[in-house]
Amino acid sequence: MTFDIKDTLFTLLTLDGISGHETALADYMQQQFSATAHEVWRDRLGNVVARYGSESPDALRVMVFAHMDEVGFMVRKIEPSGFVRFERVGGPAQITMPGSRVTLNTEQGPVPGCIGIKAYHFAKADERTQSPSLDKLWIDIGAHSKADAEQMGVRVGTPITLYNPPQLLANDLVCSKALDDRLGCTALLGVAQGIRQQPLAIALYLVASVQEEFNIRGIVPVLSRIKPDLAIGIDITPSCDTPDLHDYSDVVVNQGVGITCLNYHGRGTLAGLITPPRLIAMLEQTAREAAIPVQREVAPGVITETGYIQVEQNGIPCASLSIPCRYTHSPAEVASLRDLGHCIDLLTALAQQRPESFPIEPIPGTLQEHPLL
């Protein structure tokens, strides 16, 4: 069976799922994993886990993960006029909100809408050039009253997603909402297809995680069951080939997946990842041997679950693979199908390595080294 990267990605992009409302994505990922995995389960929080490779209880456990949720909004109040006030879920770029099209995902089905903007003809000078604050914005769903909106199924707490169907651009680029992190979810499914008939020496766990955009910790409940020896996250990172970022970093689209050397929360270093040098070396060596292009990145302002996994799970080595993406957290993110393919190839090659190739240190204070080293 041939894995179609574009079709899989576009299918995932048609599904909506802000943090805490990933059910449609989880159903799809679970269905796809079930065709190839030894075992698939979903935990109480909604994380989907698929197990591959060695079934030995002493096998090295490698966890590869990507988050299913996307940035979006939630209904906070319905005005008597039928206009909808909303709150952010995650970090959608506020400057892009006015005029954006959205989908309200009600229990009765999707309701289309748009984020209103003051009529240009009546706007004062500063209102024409400055983005309004969140409390000055509203969503227009065409309702003529609060009762009318409620009749459509809109309630306080209704999840809202950005609306921008995926389209292909030149040079294998894709433009869409929610490439963060449907690219990573596509990579998981690509790896699942690539290893489905391979006898792996490691136990590989592919995890589609929840609530990354909300609190970055949605994957934590998975750790107690898997107890991984090493974890690798797949996510996006800002591509710095646009006019505003060309002098910031060398990470650009269509030049391969990024290997994170350092990332941390942009408003402080209370959480983040410093990738162990030996793990970076292993990833780069695997890439060289398979002729897969990669890029190194240092990304302040970017944070993923790896920042918490390493301290939650015995200080295990963690790495992040980053797919370069333009216009992050906007309705029109842009990324490369080639980079996505290279990410899949690298992880597939990594999964076929021998256990002794992985840089795993024995737990300090124990008399016994890791059973596979």
In CATH, what class is 72-162? mainly beta
| Closest by CA position to 192, among listed 78, 50, 42 | 50
CB 130 within 8 Å of CB 254: no
- For residue 362, pLDDT over 90 is answered with no
Q: Is the pLDDT of residue 100 over 60?
A: yes
Question: Which residue did the predictor score with more confidence, 131 or 27?
Answer: 27
Determine the Cα angle at 116 with ends 110 and 122, to 5°: 160
Is 127 known to be catalytic? no
Question: Is a pLDDT exceeding 90 seen at residue 163?
Answer: yes
Evaluate if residue 121 carries a pLDDT over 90.
Answer: no
Residues whose CB falls within 8 Å of the CB of residue 226, separated by 6 or more in sequence, listed in order: 49, 61, 63, 205, 207
% of the chain surpassing 90 pLDDT: 77
Give the residue from 347, 340, 272 showing the smallest Cα distance to 305: 272
237-256 pLDDT, tens digit per residue, is: 999 999 999 888 899 999 99
pLDDT of residue 161: 97
Mean pLDDT of 138-164: 97
Model pTM score: 0.93
| Residue 218 predicted with pLDDT over 60 | yes
Least Cα distance to 221 among 73, 102, 44 occurs for 44
Q: Is residue 46 scored above 90 in pLDDT? A: yes
Q: Averaged over 129-139, what is the pLDDT? A: 87
Name which of 11-25, 89-103, 138-152 the model is least confident about: 89-103
* Res. 271: pLDDT tops 90: no
pLDDT at 367: 40
Over range 200-221, report the average pLDDT.
Answer: 94
Render pLDDT for 325-358 as a digit per residue (tens, 0 to 9).
999 999 999 999 999 999 999 999 999 999 999 9
Catalytic pick from 212, 213, 297, 333? 212
Residue bearing tokens 């994993």: 33
pLDDT given at position 372 = 42
> What does pLDDT average to over the chain?
92
> What band does 366 get if pLDDT is binned at 50, 70 and 90?
very low
pLDDT at 369 over 50: no
Record the tokens describing residue 123, joined without a space.
């706007």
More confident residue, 315 or 176: 176
Q: What is the pLDDT of residue 1?
A: 60
Residue spans of beta strands (DSSP E) within 135-270? 139-140, 159-162, 167-168, 173-176, 203-209, 230-238, 257-264
Report the chain's terminal Cα–Cα distance, integer Å.
35
Quick count: other Cβ atoms within 10 Å of Cβ 37? 21
Quote the pLDDT of residue 365: 53
pLDDT computed for residue 248 by the predictor: 87
What DSSP state is assigned to residue 136?
Answer: G
Q: pLDDT-derived band of residue 314, with 50, 70 and 90 as boundaries?
A: confident
Each residue of 329-338: pLDDT tens digit? Answer: 999 999 999 9
Q: Using CA atoms, how far apart are residues 77 and 160, in angstroms rounded to an integer?
A: 13
The predicted structure's pLDDT at residue 269: 63
Q: Which two tokens stand for residue 76?
A: 């906070």
- Amino acid 302: pLDDT: 84
- Asked whether residue 108 carries a pLDDT value surpassing 50, the answer given is yes
Pick the CATH number of 5-70+178-357 from 3.90.1860.10, 3.30.590.10, 3.40.630.10, 3.40.640.10: 3.40.630.10
- Structural domain boundaries in the chain: 5-70+178-357, 72-162
pLDDT of residue 280: 96
Report pLDDT digits (tens) over 51-91. Answer: 999 999 999 999 999 999 999 999 999 999 999 999 999 99
